[in-house]
């Protein structure tokens, strides 16, 4: 032995000669069955397979001809290759239905889809059914809706069949990307069979017949995101919307785009949203004014507002006191001082970003909440007036930082 490894020399000296010179023949019964990896307990092997699934998902890749044109798409089954290593690995994989519970229709295709559903048995499913217009596949997805936990689809064929109870469903995303998208997605009258007790996250784009009055579907929501390409043709009345929000005490994130109610006479009614952390509204200024005066949210909630038009400072003086009342609904301006106001004007728009000292986000090591405002305006002169109105109405005292772009030189108190 080399002197580089002196500690191993005594071991080498004591080995039988045949142990150092003879290599035992490879028997037909040695190999995989005697490999240490094959002796892993099934539960450890399941963890390994789950990890492989997360980093090596099935996917499609293009097959090109000599000219670089796509001939077809071929399927790489990804982690499923692991089930071809040996009989033990395959048996363990087939005995764990949760390994087969994440189903991507576009990737797996019709050949694999039915087998994936069969192997998942009664496990809670995550189904991505986007870009699927095949009636047979749509029927298969609907058939397994009772044990689906997450559903992401953009096919009217599937949406039309969403009229069965979904007791395990926690998240659903419905979009429409076809050329008829602006026509809207008509939800069935008995959407989800009016029974989805675990539903927490609901994302729908361009929905028709939204079940505002079916509070049993809404009561456990933490996220509600309703957006429209333009404006909804059937927005709820203010009373119906407030009733629905009142039925969602666990709501943490609310996005309403193009579907706010028409303005209604103010009432003393106030709807608390005690857990709200994010509110995004896109509507006309009078619709925003009508809704905000009835909402009460934590002072730490972030607010993002987009509106189509502010015509003059008088309109701003109607809206911003309502906005201030909403922002300070948990306390007065002195309890929520503004750290900074950043304003910018681009062409016919005004954007503003306000940071409050008591918020939940960290900026340079300090915690702040923020309000983002975006408006369309008549011109730069109106933009300056609106920015001044915002500062006057929302800032009880001058902020620590003030950033006004586009040749604005005035400051608070001017």
- What average pLDDT does the segment 403-410 reach? 48
Q: Is 309 in a helix, a strand, or coil?
A: strand
Q: Answer whether 371's CB lies under 8 Å from 342's CB.
A: no
| Shared-domain flag, residues 348 and 310 | yes
Q: Answer whether 320's CB lies under 8 Å from 350's CB.
A: no
- Tell me whether residue 289 is in a domain: no
Beta bridge partners of 49: none
Position with higher pLDDT, 45 vs 31: 45
- Residue 360 has φ and ψ, to the nearest 5°, of -100, -10
Q: Which of 62, 95, 128 is the last residue of a domain?
A: 95
| Shared-domain flag, residues 53 and 85 | yes
| Shared-domain flag, residues 316 and 377 | yes
| Shared-domain flag, residues 372 and 314 | yes
Cα–Cα distance, 267 to 93 (Å, whole number): 60
Residue 393 burial class via C-beta count within 10 angstroms: exposed 0-12, middle 13-18, buried 19 and up: middle
- Tell me whether residue 10 is in a domain: no
- Tell me whether residue 225 is in a domain: no
pLDDT digits (tens, 9 = 90+) for 231-289: 777 899 999 999 999 999 999 999 999 899 999 988 899 999 999 999 999 988 889 99
pLDDT digits (tens, 9 = 90+) for 323-356: 878 877 655 556 667 777 676 666 566 677 777 7
- Tell me whether residue 259 is in a domain: no
What does DSSP say about strands 201-205 and 302-310: parallel, antiparallel, or unpaired?
Answer: unpaired
| Shared-domain flag, residues 82 and 164 | no
Position with higher pLDDT, 234 vs 123: 123
| Shared-domain flag, residues 89 and 112 | no
| Shared-domain flag, residues 414 and 303 | yes
Cα–Cα distance, 136 to 125 (Å, whole number): 18
Q: How many domains, the chain?
A: 3
The domain containing residue 42 runs over which residues?
A: 37-95
Q: Answer whether 134's CB lies under 8 Å from 110's CB.
A: yes
| Shared-domain flag, residues 319 and 389 | yes
- Tell me whether residue 263 is in a domain: no
- Tell me whether residue 167 is in a domain: yes
DSSP string, 200-230: -EEEEESEES--TT-HHHHTT-SEEEEE-SS
> Does residue 122 carry a pLDDT above 80?
yes
| Shared-domain flag, residues 88 and 116 | no
- Tell me whether residue 250 is in a domain: no
- Identify the pLDDT of residue 344: 67
| Shared-domain flag, residues 411 and 306 | yes
Q: Which of 95, 117, 143 is the last residue of a domain?
A: 95
| Shared-domain flag, residues 61 and 122 | no
Is residue 370 very low, low, confident or very high in pLDDT (cuts 50, 70, 90)? confident
Q: Which of 220, 253, 274 is the last residue of a domain?
A: 220
Q: Answer whether 188's CB lies under 8 Å from 162's CB.
A: yes
């Amino acid at each position: 032995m080399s002197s580089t490894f002196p500690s191993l020399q005594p071991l080498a000296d004591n080995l039988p000669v045949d142990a150092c010179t003879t290599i035992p023949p490879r028997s037909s019964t040695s190999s995989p069955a005697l490999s240490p990896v094959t002796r892993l307990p099934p539960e450890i092997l399941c963890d390994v397979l789950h990890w492989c699934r997360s980093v090596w998902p099935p996917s499609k890749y293009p097959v090109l001809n000599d000219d670089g044109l796509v001939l077809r798409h071929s399927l790489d089954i990804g982690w499923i290759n692991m089930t071809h290593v040996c009989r033990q690995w395959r048996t363990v994989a087939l005995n764990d239905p949760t390994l087969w519970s994440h189903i991507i229709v576009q990737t797996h295709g019709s050949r694999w889809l039915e087998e994936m559903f069969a192997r998942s048995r009664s496990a809670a499913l995550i189904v991505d059914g986007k870009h699927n217009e095949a009636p047979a596949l749509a029927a298969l997805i609907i058939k397994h809706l009772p044990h689906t936990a997450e559903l992401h689809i953009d096919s009217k064929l599937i949406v039309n069949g969403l009229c069965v109870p979904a007791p395990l469903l926690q998240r659903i995303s419905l979009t429409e990307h076809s050329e008829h998208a602006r026509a809207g997605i008509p939800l069935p009258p008995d959407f989800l069979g009016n029974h989805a007790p675990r539903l927490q996250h609901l994302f729908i784009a361009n929905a028709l017949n939204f079940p505002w009055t079916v509070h049993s579907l809404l009561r456990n929501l933490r996220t509600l995101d309703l957006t429209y390409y333009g404006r909804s043709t059937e927005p709820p009345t203010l009373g119906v919307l407030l009733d629905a929000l009142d039925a969602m005490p666990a709501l943490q994130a609310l996005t309403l785009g193009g579907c706010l109610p028409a303005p209604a006479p103010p009432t003393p009614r106030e709807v608390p949203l005690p857990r709200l952390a994010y509110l995004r509204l896109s509507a006309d200024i009078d619709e925003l004014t009508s809704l905000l005066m009835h909402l009460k949210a934590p002072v730490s909630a972030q607010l993002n507002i987009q509106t189509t038009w502010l015509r003059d400072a008088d309109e701003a003086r109607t809206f911003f006191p309502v906005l201030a009342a909403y922002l300070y609904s948990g306390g007065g301006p002195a309890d929520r001082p503004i750290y900074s106001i950043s304003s910018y004007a681009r062409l016919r728009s005004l954007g503003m970003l306000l940071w409050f000292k008591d918020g939940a986000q960290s900026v340079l090591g300090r915690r702040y909440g923020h309000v983002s405002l975006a408006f369309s305006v008549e011109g730069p002169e109106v933009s300056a007036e609106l920015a001044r109105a915002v500062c006057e109405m929302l800032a009880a005292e001058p902020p620590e930082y003030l950033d006004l772009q586009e040749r604005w030189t005035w400051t608070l108190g001017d």
